[in-house]
């Protein structure tokens, strides 16, 4: 299981996603370009990201990619099969509710940029598009809140929730 953020716009959300990844013991992929200074060599360069991520950044398995094409190429041409498993896009226009979906331990949970989501190319590439059911009139959740809900359910189903310290 892994998290992926597509072109994040808000450094605080990436910081919170890094904390989520560290606490749930899953890697996170950052697909650029980001809407703020970000480098895999110095992920804490942005003070807002650092303020939210705290010391969890050093506990996070974080991977940076310059573009969607670079991300796809890292998994071998145009497929996420193999090390990455299925690509699950979390979107308000999802075909299935996240809580009615059967997860696999190798799934990649992808969230889009806060202001623009993902382009059609990425949307179409997803193996499944999942949504979080919401109250009538609600437009969307924060990307980290949605990712936390879905990740929790995915880890529960796959029996890979961290057990904490003894």
Instruction: Judge whether 153 lies within some domain.
Output: yes
Instruction: Judge whether 77 lies within some domain.
Output: yes
How sure is the predictor about 127, in pLDDT bands with cuts at 50, 70 and 90? Answer: very high
pTM tops 0.85, yes or no? yes
What's the CATH code of the domain at 15? 3.40.1280.10
Q: Per-residue pLDDT averaged across 112-127, rounded?
A: 92
End-to-end alpha carbon distance in the chain: 23
Per the structure, the complete domain to which residue 32 belongs is given by 2-157
C-alpha span between 116 and 46 (Å, rounded) = 21
Tens digits of residue pLDDT in 68-105:
999 988 876 455 444 458 999 999 999 999 999 999 99
Instruction: Judge whether 163 lies within some domain.
Output: no
The domain total for the chain is 1
Residue 65 and residue 74 in contact, taking contact as beta carbons nearer than 8 Å: yes
Residue 61 and residue 27 in contact, taking contact as beta carbons nearer than 8 Å: yes
């Amino acid at each position: 299981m892994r998290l992926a953020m597509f072109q994040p716009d808000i450094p605080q959300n990436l910081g919170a996603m890094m904390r989520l990844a560290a606490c749930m013991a899953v890697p996170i992929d950052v697909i650029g370009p980001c809407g703020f200074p970000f480098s895999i060599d110095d992920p804490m360069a942005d003070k807002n990201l650092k303020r939210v991520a705290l010391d969890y950044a050093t506990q996070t398995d974080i991977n940076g990619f310059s573009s969607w094409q670079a991300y796809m190429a890292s998994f071998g041409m145009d497929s996420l099969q193999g090390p990455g498993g299925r690509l699950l896009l979390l979107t308000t226009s999802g075909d299935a509710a996240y809580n009615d979906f059967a997860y696999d331990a190798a799934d990649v949970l992808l969230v889009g940029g806060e202001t623009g989501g993902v382009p059609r190319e990425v949307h179409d590439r997803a193996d499944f598009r999942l949504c979080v059911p919401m109250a009538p009139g609600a437009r969307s959740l924060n990307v980290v809140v949605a990712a936390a809900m879905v990740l929790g359910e995915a880890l529960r189903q796959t029996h890979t929730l961290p057990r904490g310290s003894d």
